[in-house]
A and B are shown apart, each in its own frame.
Chain A
Amino acid sequence: MRTMTMITAWAMAGSALVAAAAPALAADATLKIESWRNDDLQIWQEKIIPDFEKSHPGIKVTFQPTAPKEYNAALNSKLDAGTAGDIIACRPFDASLELFKKGQLTSVNDIAGMSNFSDVAKAGWSTDDGKTSFCVPVAAVLHGFIYNKDAFAKVGIKDVPKTDEEFFADLDKIKKDGTYVPLAMGTPDQWEAATMGYQNIGPNYWKGEDGRAALIAGKEKLTDEAWVAPFKELAKWGAYMGDGFKAQSYPDSQNMFTLGRAAIYPAGSWEIAQFQSQAQFPMGAFPPPVPKAGDPCYVSDHPDIAFGMNAKTKSPEAAKTFLTWVASPEFAKLYANALPGFFSLQSQPVPTDNALAKEFVGFRDSCKSTMRSTYQMLSRGTPNLENETWVESANVINGTDTPEQAAAKLQKGLDSWYKPGK
């Protein structure tokens, strides 16, 4: 008898617990964000997530980044296995398009706030016909050069270089002075040579979007002078890099600059926050120099991050709420100020307080924006144009290949699978 009451009591307590828990479960949703920005973990945990959770009680958010190098491989495996998070940070163009085609990302056309983005901003995360977007654009990164103001003062450079001629004259001055390594960059990681080298200075030669569109349409070739010229400039860089630049890794270059041992750092704007927290000297930025004085300037303003929704998420409503928030001006402001160097893709300009970030975003006023040439459509086949561009850009700086050889190899690889206009 006594055991019976015990059991009944337990059963009642149990059902009461279930009853109490059920509504709470329905209201509470936990969203896991997949991202490659492991550098931003702290900012997400301390600034962005608390802000969202405050305005959206009932939704818990965790940020779970993977190392950038492993992100694509890890994400694809997780999505295939059904263990990926609810919110997916989207790489631009094909990597995410493929996920959408596989049905692993959903359309975000119905998210309120998508009208805050221009078609160009959405291009990186839309189908080829531009009709369906599958990620909410978050940020673009700008390319240019960051320089050590003390170094420029020491060797007597008053104005930042505007043309190639001035750029190399300044590099010569710094080299002659000998206190600073003129250019902080290395080639073993290869992507820097392509991203901060070729894609950074290139748009001024191939005229930004015009050249990029012509390349995709097949009207221009990588062996044309406009596409070989940036390689010719890169070939001259090696002489201004540090001793042993052939084994100088990306973190080496970052440290070399922030420790004040180098004068100019070919940069992406994502470096801003880290550089400012580490460097003890004033920094400035200048856009890639143009070939001749008076030439129009172009700047690589590359769509970099967006957020999409895992089609298999258990809490689609909460995920949509989060994406709606991401598309809002409040998020843009919060993100831009928490992470200077990642510039909002929303049509409304977002004010930023950071001086160096302001200099970077100022490039948008004086120069025309474009994006990296290899990203849209051209890296779909084998050999992969982006990978080949990494290898060849490093080869050109190392002197392994001449600019013409490098361009010829790239075009040959592209010709083997890319048929323009199809």
Chain B
Amino acid sequence: MSQIEKLSLDVPSIPAATAGTVRQAPARRWYILVFLAPALLVYSALMVIPLADTLRLSLYRKVDQTSVFVGFANFGRLFGDPNWSVHFWQALVNNIYFFIFHLLLQNPIGIALAALLSLPKLRGRSFYRTAFFLPTMLSFVIVGFTWKLILSPIWGVAPTLLGFVGLKSLFHPWLGLESSALTTLALISVWQFVGIPMMLIYAAMLSIPEEVIEAAELDNVTGFAQFWKIKLPLILPTIGMCSILTFVGNFNAFDLIYTAQGALAGPNYSTDILGTFLFRTFFGNQLQLGDPNMGATIATMMFLIILIGVSIYLFGVQQRMRRYQL
């Protein structure tokens, strides 16, 4: 603990280090290229080229075993043909619901846990920290399977536990009901990932200098007032970061729903999000053959949605956020 405090106190010394780079080097600094090259090459090969190829694929269609350039016809089909558009919009609406649920639950819980963890008098801090973070490190498959078992109406511990407190009547097969399946999955996902905002915000809170807190205490700003007026504004950029990470994560989500509900994202498509819709289209399902071109079209839409979301955040939110020099 004290070590971390020391680290955070070291922060002001960074400007001194960067001051050295101010002097201009006249020579060509070609070594920068050399140092960048590995990352650039790996990133291009693994991310940029496949992404570009996906975009290209969405402009083609297979006709008699040969790829034909069709312009934006695949997009026309995705939005114009009700056989496609109904599923697309439903998946998008479900995805937005999934994201908002995360945003409204995961961040506040993360902040609350971080605030509790940074209380100076808390005992067993590292145990709690580990315990809250543990699910994040588990595989989706384990999480999906375990929760499916916990919530199973036949062998699950959920009905038994509710029975102990006399609330068995409250139990429903939540994962099997259209009304509750997506919410249940969102809750499971929040349970799994609440560790990430918690850790990031916790780190941000630790980096708040003691002087600021002491000054606040001298002005008689303590307890909740201190949290709202001092700590929260200082960790706001981190909360923004967490939100955008959640946004990207949620619009790319697939694994948990596939593990728990299968590629058809039942019941009655109620848990279908863009990721499962993409998987089903691209790879097919049972008798449905995979359609890489329509799959790429959906992937392109997902890319655009994430691009727009991140842009709004970067240019609309982040730039207006007030940052405090600590």
Contact = CB atoms under 8 A, between A and B. Distances in A.
Interface of A: 69, 72-73, 76-77, 93-95, 98, 101-102, 186-191, 242-249, 252, 255-256, 374-375, 379, 382-387, 390-391, 394-395, 398, 400, 413, 416-417
Contacts of A252: 152, 154-155
A198 B63 CA distance: 34
Given A72-B283, A73-B283, A76-B290, A188 B155 contact: no
Interface in B254-302: 261-264, 266-269, 280, 283-291
Contacts of A391: 264, 266, 268-269
Contact of B175 (A247, A382, A383, A398): A247
Contact of B176 (A72, A73, A247, A395): A247
- Residue of A72, A244, A249, A395 ringed by the most chain B CB atoms within 10 A: A244
22 contacts: A72-B290, A73-B283, A93-B287, A94-B289, A95-B284, A188-B176, A190-B266, A244-B159, A244-B176, A246-B173, A247-B151, A247-B176, A248-B154, A252-B155, A379-B288, A382-B83, A383-B83, A387-B286, A387-B288, A391-B266, A394-B268, A395-B268
Contacts of B261: 188
B264 A73 contact: no
Contacts of B264: 190, 387, 390-391
A242 B290 CA distance: 35
B110 to A, nearest CB: 29
Interface of B: 65, 81, 83-84, 148, 151-155, 159, 171-178, 261-264, 266-269, 280, 283-291
Closest 6 CB pairs of A and B: A244-B153, A246-B176, A247-B173, A247-B176, A73-B283, A244-B173
Nearest to A413: B83
B173 A387 contact: no
Given A76-B283, A391-B266, A394-B268, A247 B289 contact: no
A394 B266 contact: yes
A287 to B, nearest CB: 25
A409 B287 CA distance: 18
B83 A187 contact: no
Nearest to B77: A382
Contacts of B266: 187-190, 391, 394
B180 to A, nearest CB: 10
Given A101-B65, A252-B152, A382-B84, A94 B287 contact: yes
- Residue of B174, B178, B285 ringed by the most chain A CB atoms within 10 A: B285
B173 A400 contact: no
A306 to B, nearest CB: 15
A75 to B, nearest CB: 10
B172 A95 contact: no
B287 A249 contact: no
- Residue of B153, B154, B175 ringed by the most chain A CB atoms within 10 A: B154
B262 A189 contact: yes
B176 A384 contact: no
Given A243-B153, A246-B267, A252-B154, A387 B285 contact: yes
Contacts of B153: 242-245, 247-248
A67 to B, nearest CB: 11
A309 B148 CA distance: 39
Contact of B287 (A95, A102, A188): A95
A244 B178 contact: no
Contacts of A188: 175-176, 261, 266-267
Contacts of A255: 154-155
B175 A387 contact: no
A206 B83 CA distance: 27
Given A190-B266, A252-B154, A252-B155, A246 B65 contact: no
A290 to B, nearest CB: 28
A168 to B, nearest CB: 24
Nearest to A256: B154
Contacts of B288: 379, 382, 384, 386-387
Contacts of A189: 262, 266
Nearest to A249: B148
Contacts of B154: 242, 244, 248, 252, 255-256
B166 to A, nearest CB: 17
B74 to A, nearest CB: 12
B287 A186 contact: no
Contact of B173 (A76, A93, A245, A383): A245
A390 B264 CA distance: 9
